Structure 1
Amino acid sequence: MRANKGRWQLSGIPCSHSIACFREERIDPEDMVHKCYTIETYLQAYGHNVMPMRDRAHWEQVDGPFIHPPVYKKRMGRPPKNRKKTPEEKLQKDGSIALNKKGVSMHCSICGKADHNKKGHQKFMQREMEREAQEQEDEIEDPSILNVTI
């Protein structure tokens, strides 16, 4: 049986509608699970004991080159004080969750428009005035809108 674009073949575990078909045909679904998921295979893989190592004085001497630890390179810049916290961990001092400004558009505190802030207000206003002046010039240059009165 082939189902879910080969998921059963890849994982070795039958999908839910395959199990429904097995029950209809009175086949035990556990017989259709791959052998690697059995308790016997698990015990073969993880059943042996690993004895703990003693200190370095009891280690067995091996012929070969001595392996040195990797060279530590100090990174440039100020070292980070804290690790990066997940959103669940970002709490303010009063216990509330600190929110970020992702997806929030900044608004100008002078005119209230969303396409610039206070710092870009004058530049924005100059561009708006230039754009309006250009539109007025375009309207005048368009011969279709000239009204000629005789």
Structure 2
Amino acid sequence: MASVTFKGNPVTLIGTEVKVGDKAPNFTVLANDLSPVTLEDTKGQVRLISVVPSVDTGVCDAQTRRFNEEAAKLDNVKVLTVSVDLPFAQKRWCAAAGIENVQTVSDHRDLSFGEAYGVVMQELRLLARSVFVVDSTDTVTYVEYVSEGTDHPNYEAAIEAAKAAK
């Protein structure tokens, strides 16, 4: 499993670590209107999945805003931001932040995404900061488990991986 710390403290990740070349695991999360969202819903598209502990924190806010800006420049790439924030909080945050190109989804209900991608921080019941790119054939082409939860991901590498995926 990936080795991750949060504010310098080691955390235990629950679930299955995903690697480049793996078939992307399906999941069910909730949209801001409480409707279910699955990986299958975007079949045939490239997906950039940005995972954050909570959109209400500085680095998570910056990460979501950065991918929102980049999403406007990407053709045939669906950008999702996954957190365990309640859908209502995500909706309120997106409205206040002007987020229009990224779909925020909540894994609060049953940690379906977090367990499928190995990003549930057991001690905090939050998702570990990470980025995944899944191509149109549901193959994982890029993975980053950010080693320190308060650090930024490698935006450039993730964006380039999304551009390169078919």
- What TM bracket, shorter-length normalisation? under 0.3
Identify the structure with bigger relative contact order (alpha carbons < 8 Å, sequence gap 6+).
2
Q: Give the strand-richer structure, 1 or 2.
A: 2
Q: Give the helix-richer structure, 1 or 2.
A: 1
Larger Rg computed on CA atoms = 1
Q: TM-score, structure 2 length as denominator?
A: 0.17
Q: TM-score, structure 1 length as denominator?
A: 0.18
